[in-house]
Chain A
Amino acid sequence: MNDGNATLATPDMEGLKPGFTEPVFEAQEAFRTVLNTLSYAGRVHTLATELDPPAPLDPATAAMALTLFDFDTPVWLDATIQGGAAPDFLRFHCGAPLVAAAGEARFAMIADPSNMPPLDRFAIGEDRYPDRSATLLIQVPALTGGPGMTWCGPGIDGEITVAIAGLPTDFWAQWADNHALYPLGVDVIFAAGRALVGLPRGIQVEG
C-alpha cells in the first residue's frame, strides 16, 4: 500500500468473514489472556476462541486484533497480511486505520517474521509518555521448537527457557537493543494457532 488508505478500492464485503459471535464475552476473555500473557512473560497461554479468520491470520492473532484494535489505534500490516482478505476484515470489524509507515502504528501485525522490519522501525514511546509505543503481534510457525533462549525479568520466577520458532537470526540482538531502551521500547506478543506468549520490553533475553 502506498499511502494510508489507498488500498480501500472496493472492499470485498461479500467474502467478509464474521468476527466474534459474542463480542463482549470473547473480547473480555481475549483481553484477560493478553494481560496474563504480558504479566507472565514466556508462559504459553491458550485461547478458547472459535474464530475462523481470513488467511494468513491464526485465530489467536485475529482474536487479539478484534480485542485491541479500534478507531484510535493505527495499525501496520506486513506484506503477507496486506495481500489477502485480512485488511478488509480488520477495517470492518475493528474500524482501525491501516497505516503505511511502521513508525505511526500503535499495533503491528506480522505473519512473516523472517522478513519483518527491524524493531527500531516502530514507535518506542516518549520520555513523558512511554505508553505511546507500538505493540507487535508476531505470528510464528510455533511457540516451541525454535532456538532455546533464557528469559528473565518481571513476572518470571528466576528464569525460563523459551524456544520461539521462525524468528530472523538477528531478532534477539535487536531485542537486546530494545530492552536497553527501557522504560521506552516496543512490546511483543507471539502467536501461533490459538496460543500466545508475551515478551514485554522489560524482559531480558540471553542465548
Chain B
Amino acid sequence: MYVAVKGGERAILNSHKLITETRRGDGAVPEVSVRQIGEQLGLAVDRVMTEGSVYDRELAALAIKQAQGDLVEAIFLLRAYRTTLPRFAVSEPIDTAKMLVRRRISAAYKDIPGGQVLGPTYDYTHRLLDFALAAEDGVGLPEAPVADAPLDDGMPHVADILDHEGLIEEERPDGDGAEVFDLTREPMSFPAGRDQRLQNLARGDEGFVLALGYSTQRGYGGNHPFAGEIRMGEVSVEIVPEELGFAIDIGDVVISECHMINQFEGSKEKPPQFTRGYGLSFGHNERKVMAMALVDRALRAREMGETAMYPAQDEEFVLYHADNVEAAGFVSHLKLPHYVDFQAELNLIRKLRQEHQDRLEKEAAE
C-alpha cells in the first residue's frame, strides 16, 4: 500500500527538463534521427515491436529515441500508444510457408528443399570488436552479392516435407472454431490454452523467456531439442473488412519463426514421437523465437501427460511473469512514497524489540 502525497511539482518539471537535456547529450554531437534508428538499430526496433506488440518500425524507433535506448521503457511507450488506436480487424492467420525468405536454416536436416539459406546473421562472425565501424568516415555503402536467380518460390516447412514416417507430431487445426484468446481484451485465465500461452510468450520479455528456455536445456524441463527450422522474412497480412466482405492484402510484415523438435518418450495413449515447440516474433529476433519454442514445448507438459516439475513447465509462473511492462511496473512502484507504511513498520519493530527486551530481563530476573 502507498499513501498519496502532494508537492514536488517544480522538482518534477525540472526533472523532465533535465532528462530531456540528458537524452540529447553533448550538443556538439549530431542528434540521432528516428530514421537512423530504424535503419541502423533495426534489431532493437524488432525487439521493441515484438514485445511492444505493435508492428510499426517508425513508432518503435521513436520509442527507442524517446527512451534513450532503454528498450523496456520503449516497449512500455509503444504499449501505451497502442491503447489510443481503434482496432479495425483481426487478420487471417499468416501463412509462413509462403514467406519471402531472407534466412532459413535447419539443424535437424542437412539437405532441405530450397537449401540452407544463411541470410543476414552474426552467427559466423568472430565476435571481435570491429573498429572500422568506429572510424570517423564510417563504413560507406557496403553492398552484398546478388545471386543470378532468386530462391524457390514458397518454402514449405522442413518438418512437414521430410518426415515421411510420421515420427514428428503434426500440427493441424483442431477445427473446433473456438474463439481465439486475446490477452489485450481478456484477463489471463487458467488452465491456459496454447493460444493464450503463445500470445503471452510472443509479447514476453526476451530475457525472461531466454532464461526459461535455457533452464529447460539444463535439465529443468527435460527436453532434448533440435532446431528443426528457423526462418525469417516477409509474410503478407490479409484482412476481411466488415464493409467489404472479401479478403484484401494490406501489406507485409517481417517475422522470425522457429520450429523446435523435441524428444518425447510417449505415454499410455501415444507412441514415442518427436513433439514440437513453436516460436514467432516480429522482425529478426532469432534468440527470442528459439527460446519461445523451448518454453512453448515445456508448457505443453499437461497435454503430453508429463509431470510438471520445473519452473518452465508451470504455466501460472511463466505467464504471470513474462510481461516486462507488468514486471517493470510492479518493481518500479516500490519507488513511490511508502513513507507512512514504513513509519508503521518502524513502530511495530520498536514494539517487538521492546517485548523481546522485556522477556530477556524477566528471564534474567527469575
A and B touching (C-beta < 8 Å)? yes
Is A70 a contact of B87 with CB atoms below 8 Å? yes
Is A95 a contact of B241 with CB atoms below 8 Å? yes
Is B88 a contact of A72 with CB atoms below 8 Å? no
Is A5 a contact of B185 with CB atoms below 8 Å? no
B residues adjacent to A (C-beta < 8 A): 86-89, 185, 241-245
* A5 contacts across to B, CB distance below 8 A: 242, 245
Mark interface residues in A99-130 (1 if CB within 8 Å of B CB, else 0).
Answer: 00000000000000000000000000000000
- Tell me if A91 counts as interface (CB < 8 A to partner B): yes
B276 to chain A, nearest CB (A): 32
Is A71 a contact of B86 with CB atoms below 8 Å? yes
Which of B86, B87, B242, B244 has most A Cβ within 10 Å? Answer: B242
Partner of B87, one of A13, A71, A88: A71
Is A71 a contact of B89 with CB atoms below 8 Å? yes
CB nearest neighbor in B for A96: B242
* B88 contacts across to A, CB distance below 8 A: 71, 95
From DSSP, what is the main secondary structure of chain B's interface residues?
loop
B195 to chain A, nearest CB (A): 17
* C-alpha gap A199/B216 in the complex (Å): 55
Is B245 a contact of A11 with CB atoms below 8 Å? yes
* B244 contacts across to A, CB distance below 8 A: 11
* C-alpha gap A71/B185 in the complex (Å): 12
Count class of interface residues, chain A: 10 to 19
* C-alpha gap A1/B317 in the complex (Å): 46
* C-alpha gap A11/B88 in the complex (Å): 18
* A70 contacts across to B, CB distance below 8 A: 86-87
B178 to chain A, nearest CB (A): 14
* C-alpha gap A97/B88 in the complex (Å): 11
Give 9 nearest A-B pairs by CB, closest first: A8-B245, A92-B243, A91-B243, A91-B242, A71-B87, A95-B242, A11-B243, A70-B86, A95-B88
* C-alpha gap A96/B88 in the complex (Å): 9
From DSSP, what is the main secondary structure of chain A's interface residues?
loop
CB nearest neighbor in B for A5: B245
* B87 contacts across to A, CB distance below 8 A: 70-72
> Mind listing 28 A-B residue pairs with CB under 8 Å?
A5-B242, A5-B245, A8-B245, A11-B243, A11-B244, A11-B245, A13-B243, A70-B86, A70-B87, A71-B86, A71-B87, A71-B88, A71-B89, A71-B242, A72-B87, A72-B185, A88-B243, A91-B242, A91-B243, A92-B243, A95-B86, A95-B88, A95-B89, A95-B241, A95-B242, A95-B243, A96-B242, A97-B242
* C-alpha gap A13/B242 in the complex (Å): 13
Mark interface residues in A65-76 (1 if CB within 8 Å of B CB, else 0).
Answer: 000001110000
For window 153-177 of chain A, which residues contact chain B by CB distance below 8 Å?
A: none
* C-alpha gap A5/B89 in the complex (Å): 15
Which of B88, B244, B245 has most A Cβ within 10 Å? Answer: B245
* A96 contacts across to B, CB distance below 8 A: 242
CB nearest neighbor in B for A70: B86
* C-alpha gap A13/B139 in the complex (Å): 54
B191 to chain A, nearest CB (A): 16
* C-alpha gap A56/B222 in the complex (Å): 64
Mark interface residues in A169-189 (1 if CB within 8 Å of B CB, else 0).
Answer: 000000000000000000000
Which of B86, B87, B243, B244 has most A Cβ within 10 Å? Answer: B243
CB nearest neighbor in B for A94: B242
* C-alpha gap A70/B185 in the complex (Å): 14
* A72 contacts across to B, CB distance below 8 A: 87, 185
* C-alpha gap A70/B90 in the complex (Å): 13
CB nearest neighbor in A for B241: A95
CB nearest neighbor in A for B245: A8
* C-alpha gap A11/B244 in the complex (Å): 8
* C-alpha gap A92/B241 in the complex (Å): 9
Known: A11-B245, A70-B87, A71-B88. 7 other contacts (CB 8 A): A5-B242, A5-B245, A72-B185, A91-B242, A95-B86, A95-B89, A95-B243
* A92 contacts across to B, CB distance below 8 A: 243
* C-alpha gap A205/B177 in the complex (Å): 41
B149 to chain A, nearest CB (A): 43
CB nearest neighbor in A for B86: A70
* A11 contacts across to B, CB distance below 8 A: 243-245
* B245 contacts across to A, CB distance below 8 A: 5, 8, 11
CB nearest neighbor in B for A10: B245
* C-alpha gap A97/B87 in the complex (Å): 13
* B185 contacts across to A, CB distance below 8 A: 72
* C-alpha gap A70/B86 in the complex (Å): 8
* A91 contacts across to B, CB distance below 8 A: 242-243
Which of A70, A72, A96 has most B Cβ within 10 Å? Answer: A72
* C-alpha gap A8/B243 in the complex (Å): 8
